[in-house]
Amino acid sequence: MASTKETVARRPLMERLSRRVPLQGRSQQTVEDILEATSRLLVSGGAKEITTNAIAAEAGLSVGALYRFFPDKQAIIDAIAVRHVEAFQRSAVLVLISLGAFSGPDFVSGLIDHFVAFLEQRPDFRAIAFGGHISQTTRAAHSLPDSAGVNILKKFMLKSLHAKDRSALDIKLKMAAETGERLIEFAFKQKSVEERLKVIAELKLMLSSYLFKK
């Protein structure tokens, strides 16, 4: 029989982060309305300014109806973050597969390019990922916001580059993830797209040299 931890891990995202499982279509739609309303507020005002009252009003619900599905604002923000990261992981795998065979530096470059494009298209995700608004519990459980990229890169290095020292690889990937997260945030703070691209280019060189130096 599966252990309690394994059973919890298999439960759907919304079941783990919300108060109740949305069994009916109407309940599922309510959850979607709450998440979409929160995303709009994140784009227009940022996470710090959002309240459950504001989310409920934006979604056209009472606060009591919102609390039927989420215990607080943090749970809603976490649900949005996890959903975006899972979407990134799915899309990144498809994009990288389509590129065909490539070297380690090319793989890192393609992965960073895809993540930057993903962030450009999702200002709500940028607002919570860059603002440090994801709870520590959710970050620990999902290694957010960088788990998808790290997992994809680790699989590539183990399979394609035949990396053998897993303990050394794990610490290297953690260092690369921390560096990448902070410098991508720094890149998005630049005053122009040109300046952002310069930071991204330097980040690629830095990570490629660190991860694949001989």
121/200 Cα distance (integer angstroms): 17
Is residue 78 within 8 Å of residue 35, measured between CB atoms?
Answer: no
Q: What is the pLDDT of residues 12-65, one digit of tens each?
A: 455 555 555 545 667 888 999 999 999 999 999 888 889 999 999 999 999 999
Q: What is the pLDDT of residues 130-147, one digit of tens each?
A: 877 887 777 766 554 455
Count CB atoms within 10 A of the CB of residue 118.
20
Mean pLDDT, the chain, as a whole number?
Answer: 81
pTM of the model: 0.77
* Closest by CA position to 83, among listed 94, 75, 73, 72: 75
Residue 102 or 175, more confident: 175
187/203 Cα distance (integer angstroms): 9
Cα separation of the two ends of the chain: 46
Angle formed at CA 206 by CA 170 and CA 163, multiple of 5 degrees: 35
Q: What is the pLDDT of residues 72-114, one digit of tens each?
A: 999 999 999 988 988 888 888 787 777 666 788 888 898 899 8
